[in-house]
Structure 1
Amino acid sequence: MKAAPGVIVVLLVAVCSVTQAGESKYTTKYDNVDLDEILRNTRLYDRYIKCLTNKDDCSPDGKELRDILPDALKTKCAKCSEKQKSGAEKVLKFIYEKKRTDFDELEKIYDPKGTYRKEYEVILKKAH
């Protein structure tokens, strides 16, 4: 199974968190964003995917996501709040199950060597 769970972290962080200078955690100011609404709204969802795949300009939070994504992947979302981790799992499952083409494309960009695949395998197995 080819899978890069870091994708969820990417999308979650883009939607739900932005780092603050000098902070050891990602900001929680976006924690109350309705992830289900974003996942259901094709226009919003596509906007984030196009940002993350460098196919379009990014919103400010999308740009910050791209900036912190490598750290979030590397640290297994260590700077994420519990709510962000839960949201990341939800987004990962959604993309893996319902938007597999996007998942594969994000994996090629953010995990081309499969470094993070095993780290998040448990989350992906829950998706089935």
Structure 2
Amino acid sequence: MMYSALATMLLIYLTSQSNAMETSTYTTKYDGIDLDEILNNERLLNGYVNCLMDLGPCTADGKELKKNIPDAIENDCKKCTDRQRDGSDRVMHYLIDHRPDDWVKLEKKYNSDGSYKMKYLSSKPTEGNSVTNVTKSEEDTKNDSKE
């Protein structure tokens, strides 16, 4: 009887730990980093790219990013906070649009199937396909009705 009670308690503990691990998030310690400063500063951005590519030293936040990228990609950023998810999308979109050579290197290392870029490009409006919200002015409407 005591053995089955112990086994039940152990099972409950392991289940709760498993659930806690699934719902935990990455550290928010670096969430205050100014992404605009990094994206608008070639030296800083090159430093992060070099860190991620094992071509240079890493800052503390760069090490954390490098450690979490494989898991975040594999699990569709399940452990990311909303701020981290928005920030990572913003940075990746910037790299795809403005630094394609860096994106290709990073993609080859961290997302070799190209699924993230495909997802981004398929959701991005194209020039001929963009949705515009044009409202006629009162004057245009009056002129149309006179014709």
| TM-score, normalized by the shorter chain, greater than 0.5 | yes
Write the letter of the residue equivalent to 1:56: G
Pairwise CA distance, 1:57: 1.7
- The equivalent of 1:16 in structure 2 is none
Q: Which has the higher helix share?
A: 2
Structure 1 residues 55-97: Cα deviation after superposition (integer angstroms, max 9, x where no partner)? 1121222122222211111111001111111111111110000
CA contact (8 A) 1:26 1:80 kept: yes
Write the letter of the residue equivalent to 1:31: D
User: Which residues of structure 2 form unaligned runs of 5+?
Assistant: 1-20, 127-147
Over 3 Å counting, the alpha-carbon distance change for 1:61 and 1:123 in structure 2 is same
Aligned partner of 1:123 among 120, 123, 129:
120
Pairwise CA distance, 1:120: 5.7
Higher relative CO (Cα under 8 Å, sequence separation at least 6) belongs to 1
The CA distance in 2 between the partners of 1:100 and 1:26, in whole Å, is 27
The CA distance in 1 between the partners of 2:97 and 2:117, in whole Å, is 15
Q: How many pairs are equivalent?
A: 104
The CA distance in 1 between the partners of 2:34 and 2:58, in whole Å, is 19
- The equivalent of 1:71 in structure 2 is 71
Give me the TM-score of the superposition, normalised by structure 2: 0.63
Give me the TM-score of the superposition, normalised by structure 1: 0.71
- The equivalent of 1:43 in structure 2 is 43
Identity %: 39
- The equivalent of 2:107 in structure 1 is 107
Write the letter of the residue equivalent to 2:121: L
The CA distance in 1 between the partners of 2:79 and 2:94, in whole Å, is 22
CA contact (8 A) 1:95 1:102 kept: yes
- The equivalent of 1:4 in structure 2 is none
- The equivalent of 2:82 in structure 1 is 82
CA contact (8 A) 2:51 2:58 kept: yes
Pairwise CA distance, 1:105: 0.5
The CA distance in 1 between the partners of 2:117 and 2:100, in whole Å, is 16
The CA distance in 2 between the partners of 1:101 and 1:48, in whole Å, is 14
Larger radius of gyration between Structure 1 and Structure 2: 2
CA contact (8 A) 2:96 2:117 kept: no
RMSD over aligned Cα atoms: 2.0
Over 3 Å counting, the alpha-carbon distance change for 1:103 and 1:127 in structure 2 is farther
